[in-house]
Amino acid sequence: MFRLIFNTPEIPGNTGNAIRLAAVTGAELHLIEPLGFDLSDSKLRRAGLDYHDLAYVTVHACLDDCFAALGPGRVFAFEPDGPRGFTDIEYRSDDILLFGKESTGLSPEERAHPRITELVHLPMHASRRSLNLANSASIALYEAWRQFDFAGATRPQGV
């Protein structure tokens, strides 16, 4: 299934929500150090509810270590000025969705990383700076999963 990378996340609640997102979708969540919080932070635990044991979460020392551990797969880096819209991608099940830190996104060096296949964006009003990190990851991941008809998901009876 899909893989999410949060590169040096700063806000524990966002990462907690991403842990919950990973658990309910079957995605992997990869966190790149340094983290702006301790993994035992109460806000992270509260946002993730009781999903921590149901999610696949790995912490990596740096982005290169993460890419090496993940192996092949296209990497889509989400940035507000990415030239291609996230819905214009035909996702593959081994794709990697990369998100930068809340305050600054990806650095120029990270944006130019040779593993990045393409910079993509989520549409929003021009006068807005950014969307919440966990919300961005949710929107992107659900679009990718939708393209696979939500494979592995349970559906309520009669729907």
Tokens of 36: 């702006």
DSSP helix/strand/coil, 73: coil
Q: Please state, in angstroms and as integers, the Cα–Cα distance from residue 77 to each residue in 30, 43, 137, following that order.
A: 14, 26, 11
| 96 close to 71: Cβ distance less than 8 angstroms | no
In whole angstroms, give the CA distance from residue 3 to residue 81: 22
The reply, when asked if residue 40 is annotated as ligand binding, is no
Tokens of 125: 């009003």
In whole angstroms, give the CA distance from residue 68 to residue 126: 36
The reply, when asked if residue 130 is annotated as ligand binding, is yes
The reply, when asked if residue 100 is annotated as ligand binding, is yes
Helices (H), 26-105: 42-48, 63-70
Binding-site entries for S-adenosyl-L-methionine: 100, 122, 130
Binding-site entries: 100, 122, 130
